[in-house]
Amino acid sequence: MTSQNPPLTPRHIAIIMDGNGRWAARRGLPRAAGHREGVRAVRRTIEAAIEHNVRWLTLFAFSSENWRRPAEEVTDLTFLLRHYLRSELNELAEAGVRLRVIGERDRFGPALEAELAAAETRTAGNERLNLVIALSYGARAEIVAAARRIARAAEAGTLDPALLDEDNFTAHLATAGMPDPDLVIRTSGEQRLSNFLLWQAAYAELIFDDALWPDFGAANLASAIAEYARRERRFGARPAAAAPPTASAPVK
């Protein structure tokens, strides 16, 4: 793999949407108000992604660790998810957005699970933007689940462990068939991945935005894309100008 400059716009942007609670607390409002305002930020970000011709947008909406939050907050988040599906699905479909969900959707109950599946089916033919929502998602659990599937296949004799490589391991992840994120953005000033797309983000550019998620909008996304365009993605290789003429393999 050789050194290369990135295209001006990343093909796949993944966002850790953080700061709803702090946004509400600073205004003396309940956390639910922050989550509701965060939904508006989702709408703005989808519109901005389409404007920038981003093809894939993955949003970390609910982590597997979020189940540890107070039951009332989990209920509010689940209600907002159901409300979002019902109120935004028509607009998403008309805008050419394809919706996909990764994570343990069954933990939300059969009714919401069915609504998620119906939304995916309805938008399956859209190609303008692939919107991936990570719900009850944890990257470590995803990797362990993939390892279990591979172990079962090996036990059944349908997979030779000696032939296992990164490509066919990736095919067992929840994101199979998706490109890896080129850019990962986290809002609220926190600087960690928090168990989000750990395998897939191995070579992603990382940008940490101080804005709380409800304040995130088109200008923030444009700024992140501009910063991405200034970076040189090496994937472990030397810069092209410094690489020996005959060198073709990455320098580890």
Residues noted as catalytic? 18, 66
Alpha-carbon distance of 242 to 252, in angstroms, equals 15
CA dihedral over 103, 109, 110, 113, signed as positive or negative: negative
Give CA angle at 87 (197, 101), nearest 5°. Answer: 20
User: How do 12-16 and 56-63 pair as beta strands?
Assistant: parallel
Give CA angle at 122 (120, 123), nearest 5°. Answer: 70
Helix (H) or strand (E) holding 8: none
Helical axes 31-51 vs 71-94, angle rounded to 10°: 20
Alpha-carbon distance of 240 to 247, in angstroms, equals 10
User: How do 183-186 and 56-63 pair as beta strands?
Assistant: unpaired
Q: Which two tokens stand for residue 26?
A: 């600073």
Give CA angle at 76 (195, 101), nearest 5°. Answer: 45
- The answer to whether the CB of 97 falls within 8 A of the CB of 56 is no
